[in-house]
Amino acid sequence: MNIFPVFQTILYTISTALLCPVVIMLILLSLWLIIYAGGFLAEWVKRRQFRFNSLVSDSLEIIQREGGLPAEIVKNLPLHIGNYTKELADIVRDNRSFQEERVENLIQKKEYSLVKEVDKIRLVVRIGPSLGLMGTLIPMGTGLAGLAQGNMAQLSSSLILAFTTTVVGLALGITAHFFSVVRQQWVTEDMRHIELITEAMTKNSDQ
């Protein structure tokens, strides 16, 4: 008894059943990336507008003296850096034992949260083209089955869906890769500012 056709039928059924989830995932990822692009663009405009590359380094003495960020600096920095500064100020004022370790833990937590945001968009770089490839191959099987039966309409419909999912998947990957590269640059820049702020605010407590 030849059981290979049975296995072939099972695999074909599984593959066909995956088409709908793949298409839905591509649509959801596209919508999510459009929403993400809105927030990304807003942050990019703010960073380009204020250009705060040397803002923190030029104000280290003020930060050290006041034990926090002045208001004119806070409004130019990303919100998460301001929140970090508040948490750091609480640790410095608390003046408990193991202060250095607690500060280091806070820095690592902040770095982890920033890297996690980058990893989130990097995931789309991988998933988008993979789903696009799946959305290409699955309809091709259905289209070839229709071609074997002389159903050209089914073949045409399958090819349209296959090529469309390929384009969408590649577009998701390219766009997400661009966002991830820029976001990684922002993370590096933000961590530099965080380290400068930390050094300035903890210098008094070290003396």
Consecutive 10-residue averages of pLDDT for the chain (207 residues)? 75 83 94 94 81 66 79 79 87 81 91 91 93 88 69 77 92 96 92 88 63
**Residue 123: CB partners within 8 Å, gap ≥ 6?**
none
Which contacts (CB < 8 Å, 24+ apart) does range 47-53 have? 47/186, 50/76, 52/76, 52/77, 52/193, 53/189
Short-list 139, 128, 187, 181, CA closest to 162: 139
Tell me, what's the pLDDT at 206? 47
Q: Rounded CA gap, 54 and 76, in Å? A: 12
Tell me, what's the pLDDT at 207? 46
Q: Rounded CA gap, 11 and 95, in Å? A: 64
Question: From start to end of 23-109, where are the E strands?
Answer: none
Q: Rounded CA gap, 30 and 37, in Å? A: 10
Confirm whether pTM is higher than 0.85.
no
Instruction: Kindly report the number of other CB atoms within 10 A of residue 57's CB atom.
Output: 12
Tell me, what's the pLDDT at 22? 92
CA 183 from chain centre, in angstroms, equals 8
Q: Rounded CA gap, 50 and 56, in Å? A: 12
Tell me, what's the pLDDT at 90? 86
Tell me, what's the pLDDT at 119? 92
